Structure 1
Amino acid sequence: MAIGTLLFLGALAVVALYAVLIYNGLVGLKHNVAKAWANIDVLLKQRHDELPKLVEACRQYRQFEQQTLQAVIEARSRVQTAREAQDVGALGRAENSLRSGLGQLFAVAEAYPELKTNDNFMQLQQRITGLENAIADRRELYNEAVNINNVRVEQFPDAIVARAFSFEAKPLLEFSTAEKADVDLKQLFS
């Protein structure tokens, strides 16, 4: 065999090995995104299971605002639908509604001293608040995994392998600017 042929085969082997390394790296990133999503999904499911208990605790007080409870129930349903469909965009929008409804629910609950002293309500409120904080933490991890994935899928030479094997960019889990803004406490209590 000629030296030129050996060099060509050696170069071809190096390129193939490099492509395999890129492919394996992209597979790892794809699974990191899926794992991060699964972590969010577990927390959303836990919160989904807790919300009916909170609504029921509030319903025990006949005069409690039914409109606020209904808004939370509807938002919970939209979050569940988006979660099951793994529609990150719809989930972000549904989360905005749910967080807004929960904020109103907790603000309205301040006007009911009997409800505020109810141990069940207080435990549920603390549990849901803890889940909200955990979801925010997991959302940050998910978005970081998605960002790393998206950068690698677009970078050269990874983009060549990504296109060849249908690796694609994933959507970030974003909330609206209204969700990130400071809460107007005066408006909540008027």
Structure 2
Amino acid sequence: MTKWIILALIVMIVVWGIAAYNDLIRLKNWVKEAWSQIDVQLQRRNDLIPNLVETVKGYAKHEQDTLTKVIEMRNKLTDMSGTATPEETMEVSNQLSGALKTIFALSESYPDLKANTNFLNLQEELTNTENKIAYSRQLFNSTVAKYNIKVQTIPTNLVAKMAGFQEEKLLETPEAAREVPSVKF
């Protein structure tokens, strides 16, 4: 009878270990999928930028530095695709977002540009894409948090250590973005 109890316990532990391992695999794949969603939105934004720059060029001939900076950052982000860490990619992406805000601010100085339908459509598309990037970042961080909880908590952490699962890093807001803007009247 004792042998059967020991055998049953061993079987239960093995079944639990397999279930825990499969759960970790599932969560790890969700982390990859969440990052893939960010990557898709970054690519969508990269595809829209040349059209925006060409539209602005016709109106803002004196703003070549700004346009050049946006194109350089876009190209850097495109070149990094697949080779950089999520943190490195998001750092360049945040810089590109700031440069795009500068282009949108240019429209205030150029009323004809501000009234251009193509510019307005591109601006709306890029704004929607930026919102999707923000949502995708939230989804990524939420998924990473769930995965990390499994990797860190007992008893699943035992399986994680044996199988070589490592914690993933959350995407964080850059220090510069945390600063409170000064408002002057």
Q: Give TM-score, length-normalised by structure 1.
A: 0.89
Which residue of structure 1 lines up, in the alignment, with residue 131 of structure 2? 133
SS at match of 2:9: helix
Once the two structures are TM-superposed, the CA of residue 130 in structure 1 deviates from its matched residue by: 0.5
Match among 48, 51, 54 for residue 49 of structure 2: 51
CA deviation profile, 1:122-142 (whole Å, cap 9, x unmatched): 110110001001110111011
SS at match of 1:156: coil
User: Partner amino acid for 1:45?
Assistant: Q
Once the two structures are TM-superposed, the CA of residue 175 in structure 1 deviates from its matched residue by: 2.7
Q: Where in structure 2 are the equivalents of 1:19-168 lying within 5 Å?
A: 19-61=17-59, 63-168=61-166
Instruction: Choose 52-61 or 85-94, whichever is displaced more.
Output: 85-94
Once the two structures are TM-superposed, the CA of residue 88 in structure 1 deviates from its matched residue by: 0.8
Once the two structures are TM-superposed, the CA of residue 181 in structure 1 deviates from its matched residue by: 4.5
Answer whether contact 1:58 1:64 (CA < 8 A) is retained: no
Answer whether contact 2:60 2:110 (CA < 8 A) is retained: no
SS at match of 2:109: coil
Q: What 5-or-longer segments of structure 1 have no aligned partner?
A: none
Which residue of structure 2 lines up, in the alignment, with residue 11 of structure 1? 9
User: Partner amino acid for 2:17?
Assistant: A
Answer whether contact 1:82 1:88 (CA < 8 A) is retained: no
Question: Whole-Å Cα distance in 2 between the matches of residues 10 and 93 of structure 1?
Answer: 52
Question: Whole-Å Cα distance in 1 between the matches of residues 51 and 62 of structure 2?
Answer: 15
Question: Whole-Å Cα distance in 1 between the matches of residues 72 and 99 of structure 2?
Answer: 9
Instruction: Choose 138-147 or 66-75, whichever is displaced more.
Output: 66-75
Answer whether contact 1:82 1:94 (CA < 8 A) is retained: no
CA deviation profile, 1:105-159 (whole Å, cap 9, x unmatched): 1112210111111111111011000100111011101110001111111111111
User: Partner amino acid for 1:155?
Assistant: T
Give the paired residue count: 184
CA RMSD of aligned residues (A): 1.8
Once the two structures are TM-superposed, the CA of residue 95 in structure 1 deviates from its matched residue by: 1.6
Q: Give TM-score, length-normalised by structure 2.
A: 0.91
Question: Whole-Å Cα distance in 2 between the matches of residues 168 and 82 of structure 1?
Answer: 23
CA distance change for structure 1 residues 180 and 120 in 2, over 3 Å: closer, same or farther? farther
SS at match of 2:142: helix
Answer whether contact 2:38 2:133 (CA < 8 A) is retained: yes
Does 1:178 pair with 2:176?
A: yes
CA distance change for structure 1 residues 137 and 96 in 2, over 3 Å: closer, same or farther? same
CA distance change for structure 1 residues 107 and 76 in 2, over 3 Å: closer, same or farther? same
CA distance change for structure 1 residues 49 and 107 in 2, over 3 Å: closer, same or farther? same
Once the two structures are TM-superposed, the CA of residue 70 in structure 1 deviates from its matched residue by: 1.4
Flag as ranges the 4+ runs of structure 1 deviating above 4 A.
Answer: 180-186
